[in-house]
Amino acid sequence: MFSVKNLVKKYPTGQMALKGCSVDIDKAQIVSIFGPSGAGKSTFIRCINRLVEPTSGEVYLDDVEITSLKGRELHKARRQMGMIFQEYNLIERLTVMENVLSGRLGYVSFLQAMFRRFPKESIDEAFYLLERVGLAGYHNQRADALSGGQRQRVGIIRALIQHPKILLVDEPTSGLDPKTAMIIMQLIKDLAKEKDIPAIVNIHDVALGQRYADRIIGLTEGKIVFDGPPAEVSEETLTMIYGEEDWSKTIRKVEDEEE
């Protein structure tokens, strides 16, 4: 279904952001990537859809090898991968509807995009999704008039309307309050299950990541140091990923909630 083989990224500055990462995802699951700031989480996710060019390695999405694609083929591959961003990255001056429909840019012509003549099915789907995430009636609001949680919901549907085969999610909750953060994570999880697609979620909130993930990957200094189910994440695991610290409280909190 999806597979990354020996991905390496060396920046022109000489910094090795990824030192050969391999991941296989063979079912629709939520994969949380843990790791300290600068561990290469963002680079990893961006090398998959090539917003950042990987130095070497291979990425397969349904048997299509992505790192070697060019031009039109790359654009086609990108539209099969929905991305959700840390700072939402909505087009601030455009309306909610235009933002949602921008998820269809890979499918429409330049003139259709310019004159906002999107196919009726896309518009219908946009209305349906807006209602699904609780933003019915907001379609003509400008994106910069929304709150953080509302923006991220728009970000989520912009990714979903692409009809992606995978979701790439980069720190979706970092600017949000704890309750909104949970709502957003639940929404991503529910929608990914609904569409039956996997999601790779970079997240630095350990408790949140554990709670919503089916699988945890630990990334430290460009290397994968842990790959397993959330239940196997121990204090030793967190020390391995983040370094020495008293992790007992971080983990216990999760267990308490699950009782």
Beta partners for residue 63, in sequence order: none
Q: Give the separation between CA 100 and CA 135, rounded to whole angstroms.
A: 12
Q: Which stretch binds another protein (CB under 8 A): 15-23, 110-118, 184-192, 249-257?
A: 110-118
The region that residue 139 occupies, defined by phi over 0 for left and psi between -120 and 50 for alpha, beta otherwise, is alpha
Q: Give the separation between CA 76 and CA 133, rounded to whole angstroms.
A: 27
In whole angstroms, the minimum distance from the beta carbon of 108 to another protein comes to 8
Instruction: Compute and round to an integer the Cα radius of gyration of the chain.
Output: 18
Under rule CB under 8 A, residue 153 binds another protein: no
- When the beta carbons of 49 and 67 are compared against another protein, the nearer one is 49
Under rule CB under 8 A, residue 139 binds another protein: no
46 contacts 89 by C-beta, under 8 angstroms: no
Under rule CB under 8 A, residue 85 binds another protein: yes
Q: Which of 153, 158, 165, 211 binds another protein (CB under 8 A)?
A: 158
How does DSSP classify residue 174?
Answer: T
The region that residue 14 occupies, defined by phi over 0 for left and psi between -120 and 50 for alpha, beta otherwise, is left
Under rule CB under 8 A, residue 165 binds another protein: no
- When the beta carbons of 123 and 207 are compared against another protein, the nearer one is 123
154: tokens are 């728009």
- Binding track over 39-78 against another protein, x by CB under 8 A: ----------x-x--------------------x--xxxx
Q: Which stretch binds another protein (CB under 8 A): 86-94, 175-183, 189-197, 243-251?
A: 86-94
Q: Which of 8, 94, 182, 251 binds another protein (CB under 8 A)?
A: 94
96 contacts 141 by C-beta, under 8 angstroms: yes
Point out which residues bind another protein (CB under 8 A): 49, 51, 72, 75-81, 83, 85, 87, 89-94, 98, 102-107, 110, 113-114, 155, 158, 162, 168
